[in-house]
Amino acid sequence: MDATGRHPGTAHLVRYFTYEHLPADLQTVSRLFHDLAQDLLDLLPDGPELTAGLRRLLEAKDCAVRAALDTRQES
């Protein structure tokens, strides 16, 4: 995900949507959020609402990845 030329607040958040470093089962979950974040970057201009939306999407991604971790540990 390339944030070149984006507002510093946007660029700061975008870096947390990478997923390649995760194990394959967690990548499956995290990739969904990465792809949505990329779509939003492609569609919307920088601004406080985009930054807020990306921050909340990041929070949701973190929750979903933790849920996947919990599922993994229960198996």
DSSP codes, 16-38: GG--TTS-HHHHHHHHHHHHHHH
pTM passes above 0.75 = yes
* pLDDT tens digits along 38-63: 999 999 999 999 999 999 999 999 99
Structural domain contains residue 1? no
Structural domain contains residue 38? yes
Instruction: State residue 2's pLDDT score.
Output: 84
- Number of domains composing the chain: 1
Structural domain contains residue 3? no
Banded model confidence at residue 74, pLDDT cuts 50, 70, 90: low
Nearest in space to 58 (alpha carbons), one of 1, 25, 18: 18
* Average pLDDT of the segment spanning 7-24: 95
Structural domain contains residue 26? yes
75: pLDDT strictly greater than 70: no
Q: Return the residue matching tokens 């930054």.
A: 51
Structural domain contains residue 55? yes
Structural domain contains residue 41? yes
User: Residue 52's domain spans which residues?
Assistant: 8-74
Structural domain contains residue 62? yes
